[in-house]
Structure formats: C-alpha cells, structure tokens
C-alpha cells in the first residue's frame, strides 16, 4: 500500500520513510510541502482516475500552507476524501490537535517520532483502510447488482424492450409532464397482424424471433431519447411520444409500418404481401386536469381495433379524448 510522507524537513521525511521501509512498507513517496503533495495527488488522479495513495503522514507546520489547511482541501475533494491522514507535529497543544482532527485527520503522532509507535499506528490505519476499501467494493457490487435487477424487473425478457410495468410508470410521468407544460402527448398501439396464425404455421420459436425483430424495428424508428417503447402484452407493443401531435405521430407510425414490412418476414397465412405486418392505432391529446390518462390509452386501443377491422397492415388515427 502506498504511503505519502509530507514534511518540509528533508531529514525528517527521510527518517519517516526509512522507518516505514524498514517495517516492510516498500511503497513510500515523499513531498516537501503541501503544494507538492497536492500536485502529486492531482497527477496520479489525472492518469489513473484515483490517487493510489492509501495513507498520508502530514506535518502540521509547513511554509505557505500548513498541514491542517492541506487536510481540509483533501477532505473537500471527493477523489481524496477517503485517504486517511496522520498528523506529525512537534506541537502538543490541545487546540492544534483539535483543529487537525476537525480538519479530517484520523490520528496524530508527535515529534521526535517513536519508531514503534509510528509503525503501530500506521499498521492500524492501513488495516482500517483495507477494511473500508473492501466494504466500499462490496457496496459498489451491491449497487451494480441492484441496478441490474431493477433494469431486469423493468425489461421484457424476450424482446429486451421495456415491459408493461415500466410502461405504466413512464406513461404516468409523461402524462403529468405534458399536462404541466401544456404539450401534446401521443400513443401508438401496435399489434402484429395474425400472430396466432404465424405461431401455428411456423412454430413458437419462429414466433419469438418475429417478436424480437419487430421490437428492434420499432426501436430503430424512434429517434428521440424521450420516445419510449414497451411490450404491452402478447404481440402488442405501445409507443409513448412526448411533445408529439397527431401529425407527427402519424408520420412515425407510418415509418414503423413500412420498416416492419421491410423486414420481409415470411407470413404466408396473413396478408396478400405474404410478409409480417403490423396494425397501428394512434391517439393524441394535450392532457388536461379533466381528462383521465386512461382515455388516451382507450382511444389508441380503439384506433388499433379500427385498423385491424379495416383490413390490417394500416394506421388509423383515433378521436382525441
């Protein structure tokens, strides 16, 4: 573990370094004032993202910037906050030591330095640093796992787009935002035409593949970060288009329809074209307090029903709620 010794007295820095190396701490570096120490840490952080220093022995009395001020600066920087600092000083006044501990120092040792005392305190602090690093590593692993589980809980396992649960959350937020900003909000309800017949003809494995590639085609059509797609259930998908009126939603729906046709997935029992197609229902509204968000869903679902009733492979615009 790397130890940084900061002392304006070169002889004192050499003495501390020698004691530490003799005790088995081979990676010891020195800085001869606080500015040099801070520059060293900055350089290490710039190249590797972290300082790589596990302990600092800091003299309190130094020219230009004393050890207490240097410690305050370290503790105010997220990159260096967790590096333990042991103060080394000839001062035994309670006020000086109190200020050092308030600045963030974890311990102190007085000059002239006692070899055994120094080694014991350094071992104790480094052991604590190791335990702290392990705990933080476990916390990071747990956070990453929690984030992954949260992502999986919001994701459809087959198509990798968001699931119905996530749609409900996003739609509720977008509805409130659109109502607050008096902006249009559009929904596309998308259904793969004659999907049951597709499964019966080609089998469920092919059906799963069909769902995946159609989901990809929908996602590839959406250009803005705020546009959102989810699997609504079975062979149905829903798209949320914030700040999009009926005209804009119709253009996107038409592009989705053409892109799915462009996949040219064989579907002999469906359309005259003999490929997989989708029907899309559109509904658009500027949300108001007197409109229930479910009305927009109902309108888009009704438009989808109309598209399928009118022959499938088409886009229909529903009446605004």
169 and 70 in a common domain: no
> Is 38 within the bounds of a domain?
yes
Question: Could you give the number of structural domains in the chain?
Answer: 2
Grade residue 78 by pLDDT with cuts at 50, 70 and 90: confident
Domain encompassing residue 74: 3-144
Closest alpha carbon to 74 in 109, 111, 44, 98: 44
Structure tokens at 90: 């000839």
* Phi, psi of 162, deg, nearest 5: -65, 155
C-alpha dist (Å) from residue 58 to 11, 68, 91, 200: 15, 9, 13, 76
What digits encode the pLDDT tens for the residues 31-61? 999 999 999 998 888 876 666 899 999 999 8
At 108-157, the pLDDT tens digits run 888 888 899 999 999 999 999 899 889 988 988 988 888 888 877 889 99
DSSP-assigned letter for residue 161: S
* Higher pLDDT, residue 100 or 286: 286
At 271 the pLDDT is 66
Tell me what pLDDT residue 44 has: 85
Backbone angles phi, psi at 62, to 5 degrees: -140, 155
Task: Please give the mean pLDDT across all residues of the chain.
Answer: 91
What's the pLDDT at 304? 97
Question: Does the residue 150 lie in any domain?
Answer: no
pLDDT tens-digit series, residues 203-221: 999 999 999 999 999 999 9
Mean pLDDT of 280-304: 96
Mean pLDDT of all residues in 151-164: 90
Domain co-membership, 169 together with 86:
no
Please give the angle made by the CA atoms of 36, 42 and 44, to the nearest 5 degrees: 105
pLDDT at 79: 87
Same domain for 276 and 207: yes
The verdict on 73 and 204 lying in the same domain is no
Give me the CATH number covering residue 256.
Answer: 3.30.70.270
């Amino acid at each position: 573990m790397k130890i940084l010794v900061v002392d304006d007295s070169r002889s004192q820095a050499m003495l501390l370094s020698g004691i530490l190396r003799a005790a088995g701490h081979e990676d010891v570096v020195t800085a001869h004032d606080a500015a040099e120490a801070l520059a060293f840490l900055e350089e290490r952080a710039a190249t590797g993202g972290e300082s790589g220093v596990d302990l600092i022995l800091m003299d309190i009395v130094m020219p230009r910037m004393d050890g207490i001020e240097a410690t305050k600066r370290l503790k105010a920087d997220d990159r260096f906050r967790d590096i333990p600092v042991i103060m080394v000083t000839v001062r035994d006044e309670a006020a000086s030591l109190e200020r050092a501990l308030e600045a963030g120092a974890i311990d102190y040792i007085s000059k002239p330095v006692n070899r055994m005392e120094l080694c014991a305190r350094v071992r104790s602090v480094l052991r604590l640093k190791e335990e702290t690093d392990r705990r933080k590593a476990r916390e990071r692993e747990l956070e990453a796992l929690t984030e992954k589980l949260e992502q999986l809980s919001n994701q459809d396992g087959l198509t990798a787009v968001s699931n119905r649960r996530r749609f409900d959350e996003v739609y509720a937020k977008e509805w409130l935002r659109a109502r607050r900003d008096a902006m249009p909000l559009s929904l596309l309800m998308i259904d793969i035409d004659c999907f049951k017949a597709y499964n019966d003809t080609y089998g469920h494995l092919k059906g799963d593949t069909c769902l995946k590639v159609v989901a990809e085609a929908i996602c590839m059509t959406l250009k803005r970060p705020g546009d959102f797609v989810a699997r609504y259930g079975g062979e149905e998908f829903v798209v949320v288009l914030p700040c999009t009126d009926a005209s804009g939603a119709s253009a996107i729906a038409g592009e989705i329809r053409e892109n799915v046709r462009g996949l040219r997935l064989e579907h002999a029992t469906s359309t005259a074209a003999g490929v997989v197609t989708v029907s899309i229902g559109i509904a658009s509204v500027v949300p108001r307090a007197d409109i229930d968000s479910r009305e927009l869903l109902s309108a888009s679902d009704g438009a989808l029903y109309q598209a399928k009733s009118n022959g499938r492979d088409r886009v229909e615009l529903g009446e605004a709620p």
